[in-house]
Amino acid sequence: MSRPVIGIAAYLEQARWNIWDARAAVIHESYVRGVTANGGRAVVLPPDDLDADVLDRLDGLLLPGGVDIDPALSGRARHPETDRAQPLRDAAERLLLRGALERDLPVLGVCRGLQLLALEYGGSLHQHLPDVLGHTGHCPAEGVFGEHGMEFAADSIMAEVYGPRTRVNSHHHQGIDEPGSLRVTGRSDDGLAEAAEDPARRFVVGVQWHPEVSGDDALFARFVEACAARAASAPLPVRSGQPA
């Protein structure tokens, strides 16, 4: 059986390599490693807000971490600590997510990806967690990861992967306020919702931490497994010269 093909949403940033210092479509290599090391074939998807037709050729979608989602999308005023808006990225990833849900493709959202899921499911975000929690433990400093315990709900994918408790890394100043119609399946020690799922679908999971940074293959393996199952159940494409 061929490897499941998994799209990873990329973003546009100024980057330097070889002789170039230019705008580039980039994604942290650790996401690619998480997919390929666990049996998937990674395809990087630059931002494109015209359509989501590429999903017809994919077996799963990974929404990575990154800059804050524009608070205007949920009708909220911008907090002084909120990142500059990236409207193309927001629009492109929302389009991909909606298309993946329509096709019942497995979806894994990491950090920002979880937050995008929450908004798509009718939820809302805290824009700056220190204002809510009274501490900076979820992001001690820019580029510095925190660490905290997680407790998972029974009968969830999270509990299947990690058991009832584990410790995770942390680098985010925004977080889930209301999860919408998602089921919260993991909370940090201070009570913040940091894992959520849609139990009505084959695999829609979002986590607030960064398994790609910690080399957490357990979650990636479960995601790739779901993508492989989706690929096995999908009808074969019609080849040129074959009857439809």
Question: Which residues are annotated as catalytic?
Answer: 111, 210, 212
- H helix or E strand, kind and range, residue 187: strand 183-188
For the CA atoms of 36, 38, 44, 45, the dihedral, rounded to the nearest 10 degrees, stands at 160
**Which positions ≥6 away from 116 have C-beta within 8 Å?**
63, 69, 93, 94, 97, 109
| Integer CA distances (angstroms), 225 to 40, 65, 217, 243, in order | 9, 22, 12, 31
Q: At 211, list the tokens.
A: 């398994």
Do residues 57 and 20 touch, judged by C-beta distance below 8 A? no
Q: What whole-number distance in Å separates Cα of residue 211 and Cα of residue 31?
A: 9
- Which residues sit opposite 178 in a β-bridge? 124
Q: How many residues make up the chain in this entry?
A: 244
- Which residues sit opposite 126 in a β-bridge? 175
